[in-house]
Amino acid sequence: MLRAAKCGRLAAPATVRQGAAPRRVLASGAPSGASGAGAGPPPPTPNLRLACFGAGAAGGSLGGLVGLGGGAVMVPLMTSFAGMSQHAAVGTSSAAVAMTGICGWASFSCAGAVDLPAAAAVAVTAMLGARLGARLTARYSSVQLARVFAYYQLAVAPLVPLKSWLVKNRRGADPAPDTVEGALVLASGAPVADTGEGALANSAGALASDAVGAGRASEPANTGGWGGESDTGGGPRARELLLLSALGAGAGVASGLFGIGGGMVVTPGLCLLTDLPYTVVLGTTLAAMIPPSLVSAVTHSQMGNLAFAAALPLGIGAGLGAFAGGQIAVRVPEEPLQIFFTLFLAYMGGSKLRALRGK
């Protein structure tokens, strides 16, 4: 009897420990075991939905303005204000990034600022990389993933304004057009020194003449004519698309691993590897991120990292913001927006590293 009583007293703490372990796991947002996969998403509340809508609107609008999916904005906002774990924020952001891409693509397509062949070349390999990146998240804890993401933000922050400088140096004396209208005039090859109405008319006439003479469609974005090398053989255009396919693989891994659209990789790459005007680069990037983001979202959903209750308001906010941002981007110069976004990325990355100090 005495021995049985002792066994009963010893067994009770073990029962408490077994029951307490899941509560500790859920509170920390870490995986059961040490696998690094995210725990279940937080319960849906009005505050959660409002915070996710605001995060989506902020990420979508900034993404539409500078050609990014907005995940670099949405993920830290969801972890900071919506109380989501890093894994759940990354998985849920993937679904919202797809909405950013769809609405941003529609917005830029209204201005003819999308190169569909280039977008397809990036998207095909990006879909494969996105699944790989999503699977890699299971190898990291929430703290490790957050730290890597913070370093990633700091690393790519200078690329946003740097890409304009690289394009201007690569193209020599030809200025990068600030709007789609300027890109059309520059693509015509007509003189642009005279800014009067007569010069604009001559430029438009030269563009129409060239299009008719070459037998091309009136929208260069849908024919691959933006790059100036729209051959169908193994010429410069084919090599350009091959390089963009390699670029897409890296962008896909980043999309799945960090819950972003991969625009931080694709946008500078398009500037360096093609002669696309800047506004067309933005529209093409947004179109290219749609398939890999969908693949990433499905993969994260299978892994239990997608909070469906948060994905809906996040996606609505991202879609509305992306369409509005795209409409603004095709009409105004981008330099102030690039500088602001760079400072924002640097601030978010630095703040996250300070918060993770000692962990």
Burial class (CB in 10 A: 0-12, 13-18, 19+), 162: middle
Can you tell me the distance from the alpha carbon of 176 to that of 278, in angstroms, rounded to the nearest whole number? 7
Cβ(152)–Cβ(160) under 8 Å? no
DSSP 177: P
Per-residue pLDDT at 263: 80
**Chunked in runs of 10, what are the mean pLDDT values of the chain (359 residues)?**
48 43 36 42 72 91 82 85 84 90 91 92 91 85 84 79 68 50 45 43 43 41 45 72 92 82 81 84 91 89 89 93 89 75 82 86
Cβ density class 110-146: b for 16+ within 10 Å, e for less? ebbbbbbbbbbbbbbbbbbbbbbbbeebeebbbeebb
Q: Are 75 and 56 in contact (CB under 8 A)?
A: no
Token code pair at residue 107: 């917005």
Helix axes 86-109, 290-302, angle to 10 degrees: 160
d(CA 156, CA 259) in angstroms, rounded, equals 15
Chain centroid to CA 193: how far?
37
Alpha carbon distances (Å) from 172 to 176, 187, 333: 10, 15, 19
Tokens of 276: 């696309």
**C-alpha–C-alpha distance, residues 332 and 356, integer Å:** 38
- The angle that helices 308-329 and 86-109 make with each other, rounded to 10 degrees, is 40
Q: What pLDDT was estimated at residue 288? A: 93
The one-letter code for the residue type at 237 is R
Q: What is the pTM of this model?
A: 0.63
